Amino acid sequence: GENVEQHPSTLSVQEGDSAVIKCTYSDSASNYFPWYKQELGKGPQLIIDIRSNVGEKKDQRIAVTLNKTAKHFSLHITETQPEDSAVYFCAASSGTGGGNKLTFGTGTQLKVEL
Amino acid sequence: GAGVSQSPSNKVTEKGKDVELRCDPISGHTALYWYRQRLGQGLEFLIYFQGNSAPDKSGLPSDRFSAERTGESVSTLTIQRTQQEDSAVYLCASSLGSGFYGYTFGSGTRLTVV
B88 in Cβ contact with B37 (< 8 Å): yes
Q: Pick from B40, B43, B100: which is nearest to A32 by CB?
A: B100
Q: Which tens digits make up the pLDDT trace of B17-67?
A: 999 999 999 999 999 999 999 988 889 999 999 988 889 999 999 999 999
pLDDT at residue B16 is higher than 60: yes
Closest Cα to residue A79, out of A65, A61, A63, A64? A61
Contacts of B31 in chain A (CB under 8 A): 99-100
pLDDT-based confidence at B70, cuts 50/70/90? confident
Task: Mark yes or no for CB contact A103/B95 under 8 Å.
Answer: no
> CA dist B9 to A60, B29, B38, B87, B88, Å?
33, 22, 15, 13, 12
Amino acid at residue number B99:
G
User: Which is higher by pLDDT, A53 or B92?
Assistant: B92
Task: Mark yes or no for CB contact B33/A101 under 8 Å.
Answer: yes
Task: Mark yes or no for CB contact A6/B42 under 8 Å.
Answer: yes
